Amino acid sequence: MKIEVLTLFPEFVEQVVKVGIPRKAVEVGALSLSARDIRNYSDGADRRVDDRPYGGGPGMVMEPGPLADAIAAAKTAIGNAKVVALSPQGLPMTQALVKQLAVEPALVLVCGRYEGLDERVTPLIDFEVSLGDFVLSGGELAAMALVDAVSRWLPGVLGHEGSAEADSFSAGLLDHPHYTRPPSWRGEAVPDVLLSGDHAKIARWRLKQALGATFLKRPDLLEELELSRPHAELLKEFLHERSGEKN
């Protein structure tokens, strides 16, 4: 996948492919990322790309001209690209959206700063994506989050540890607890089942813990799910064991 990020902070955005999974994605040739400075498309000698809002009010608005030219240049560079603006007004970023975007051959990610983009660039944008209902200073961190999340789904990037993680989230549940050595630490033992070598039993225990954690921490996720009968039974078992511990 080819990604062009349009931003006033290209050196910041480029950091996302310097480490971890996005870096691996670039190394295996599954991803190429280029950050394009919107300021290079300013028509003024001062390189300004923002101006005061018509109608008054605080803050500045990004001018349409430099954005339009930067989008056109990015599309010419990578071809047939979806154009996604990172914006507080966008669709919340979810794993379902990430998976859809990961099959695109090319993406142009438009990062706003100041109060936002001039409304007249909207015909150039396919859709908007938000990181969630809180205020960021601009779209860059959201674009970097999207690049990171998409990288995990590109072919040849993750081994089997990744597919397992993917399974767990596409199942719509939180992860089960994890343990490593030492077997006893500050008086707390690792659950016996994890040392048993019985893989069916371990899988059942992990699913039970995942159902329990989701019920306790993110009941909103469970409501989406329509638990199957066996899953509902496992959750009951989790809650029963937990009430036993507490009393």
DSSP structure class, residue 191:
P
54 binds ligand 9D3 (CB under 6 A): no
Scored b (16 or more CB within 10 A) or e, 67-96 reads bbebbeebbeebeebbbbbbbbebeebeee
- Of 10 and 112, the one with the shorter C-beta distance to ligand 9D3 is 112
Please list every residue from 119 through 148 that binds ligand 9D3, using CB under 6 A: 130-132, 134-136, 138-139, 142
Element (H, E) at 65: helix 64-78
- Of 30 and 136, the one with the shorter C-beta distance to ligand 9D3 is 136
Other Cβ atoms within 10 Å of 145 Cβ, number: 17
Q: Of 27, 51, 115, 126, which one is the catalytic site residue? A: 115
Instruction: Report in angstroms how near the CB of residue 133 gets to ligand 9D3 at its nearest.
Output: 7
- Of 76 and 122, the one with the shorter C-beta distance to ligand 9D3 is 122
212 binds ligand 9D3 (CB under 6 A): no
Identify which of 87, 73, 82 has the alpha carbon closest to the alpha carbon of residue 116.
Answer: 87
| Segment contacting ligand 9D3 by CB under 6 A, of 32-40, 65-73, 85-93, 149-157 | 85-93
